Amino acid sequence: MKLLSDTAVLLQKELRAEFRSHELLTTASIFILIVIVLFSFTFDPTTAESKQFGPGLLWLAFLFSASLMLQPSFLKEKTNDTLSALRLAVGDPFAIFLAKLCANTIFLLVTELILLLVFGVFFNIAVMPVFWKLAFVFFLGSLGVSTTGTALSAVSSQARMREVLLPILLLPLLVPVLIPSAEATRALFEPDHALRWDWLGILIAFDVVFLTALWLFGEYLLEE
C-alpha cells in the first residue's frame, strides 16, 4: 500500500511540474511534428506507400523524441539533489521509478496521440476509424519505451557523458519494441483493421520483463 500511495504522491508531483512548465511535451511534440512534415515532403508517398512505410517512420520519430523526453527524467533530480530527498522519504525506491515511468508513459502517449492526427493528414491515412486500437498499441509501445528509458535515465544521470549516453544505450535496446509496435500499427492500417496479437504479445512480454527487472534491481540504479 505504501508503494502505491508513494507512487501516487510522486506521480502528482511529476504531472504538476510538467503541466506547469510544458518543457517535455513541447519539445517532443515539435520534434515529432518536424520529422513527420520533413518526411512527408521529402518522399511525397502515395497512400499505399504511406500505409507500408508510415508506421515505421512514425515509431522512429516516437523513439527519438522519447530519448529527448526521457533524458531529463532523473537528470533534473540531480540539480538540487532532490533524488536524495526522495530516497530518504520513500519506503520503497521502486516508487520513484514507478511514478516516473507512469508520468513518462502519459507524456509520450499524449504527444503520440496528438501527433497521430497530424500524421494522418500529411500521409493521407484515415486514423480515426482505428483511433482506440492505435491508442492501445501506442500505450503498450510507450510503456516499453518508458520502462527501459526511465531505468537508463537513472543510469546515465550518474555518468560523465550523460547527454549522449542515454540515446546510445536506449535505441538499440528498444529494437524489440520498435519492430512489434510498427508491425501492429501497420496491421491496423490494413483493410480489416485487425489487432495483431502475435506482435502485441511480444510487446506485452517486453513490458512485463523490463518492469519486473526494474522492480527487482531498480534500487541499485539509485545508489551512489
Partner 1 sequence: MNQRVGDSAGIKFSRVEKKFGRLYALRRLDLEVSPGECVALTGRNGSGKTTLLRIATRLTRPTRGEVTFPGAPPGTMPAVGYVSHALMLYEELTALENLLLFARLLQVSHPSERAAQLLEAANLASRADSLVRTFSRGMKQRLAIARALVQEPSILLLDEPGTGLDTESAARLVSTVRQLRDEGRTIVMSVHGESELSSLATRAARLDAGALIADTRLGATFQAVFAAGDIS
Q: What's the closest the beta carbon of residue 105 comes to partner 1, in angstroms? A: 21
Min separation Cβ 94 and partner 1, Å: 14
Nearer to partner 1 by Cβ, of 4 and 38: the residue is 4
Nearest approach, Cβ of residue 92 and partner 1 (Å): 11
Nearer to partner 1, 148 or 157 (CB): 157
- Is the Cβ of residue 25 or residue 137 nearer to partner 1 in the bound state? 25
- Which CA distances in Å does 146 have to 66, 125, 143? 8, 27, 5
| Cα 36 → chain centroid | 17
Distance, CA of 181 to CA of 63 (rounded, Å): 11
Residue (162 or 196) nearer to partner 1, CB: 162
**Residue whose CB is less far from partner 1, 192 or 223:** 223
Rounded to a whole number of angstroms, the minimum distance from the CB of residue 211 to partner 1 is 22
Cell 532523473 belongs to: 74
Output the smallest distance, CB 90 to partner 1, in A: 6
- Closer by beta carbon to partner 1, 18 or else 183: 18
Q: How far is Cα 63 from Cα 157, in angstroms, rounded to an integer? A: 19
Give the H or E element holding residue 157: none
Give CA separation, 15 vs 24, 78, 160, in Å.
11, 18, 28
Q: Which residues of the chain form contacts with partner 1 (CB under 8 A)?
A: 2, 5-6, 9-10, 13, 16-17, 20-21, 79-82, 84-90, 223-224
Shortest separation between residue 76's beta carbon and partner 1, angstroms: 9
Task: Tell me which H or E stretch contains 64.
Answer: helix 47-70
Length of the chain equals 224
List the end-to-end C-alpha distance of the chain, in Å, as a whole number. 27
Distance of CA 87 to the CA centre of its chain: 24
Is residue 196 within 8 A of residue 184, CB to CB? The reply is yes
